[in-house]
Amino acid sequence: MDSYVPARDRELRARQARSGSDGSDGMAVASFALGLVGLLAFNIVLGPFALILGGMALVRGTERPVRAIAGLVLGAADLMVLVVLITMNKGFIWPFGF
């Protein structure tokens, strides 16, 4: 037996589904931006955040899956850059030219 949902609630849910107002599009864009910035600085923090936000955006069904996937790739690249820097410098020292 179906439960009754008022027309106002059905309309609100349909509008939210069309507009992607659950935040998944914003998560995809944030994942991409954090991954991109993480290549330059703070990759130990921004890389995992990019991976988490990109994964959540894909799970929630974003309308921008390419940006979410790019955020995932950039987040993984952030962590790879971190590993390379640690290996080359024998520690957590970023070469800023000082």
Domain locations along the chain: 21-89
Q: Tens digits of per-residue pLDDT, 47-97? A: 999 999 999 999 988 888 999 999 999 999 999 998 888 888 776 655 665
Question: What pLDDT is recorded for position 72?
Answer: 96
What would the two tokens of residue 61 be?
A: 């069904």
Question: What pLDDT is recorded for position 21?
Answer: 52
Q: How confident is the model at residue 30 (pLDDT cuts 50, 70, 90)?
A: very high
pLDDT of 12 higher than 90? no
Closest-CA residue to 74 (of 22, 25, 27, 37): 37
Closest-CA residue to 49 (of 93, 25, 79): 79
pLDDT of 9 higher than 60? yes
pLDDT of 19 higher than 60? no
Closest-CA residue to 62 (of 12, 89, 71, 10): 71
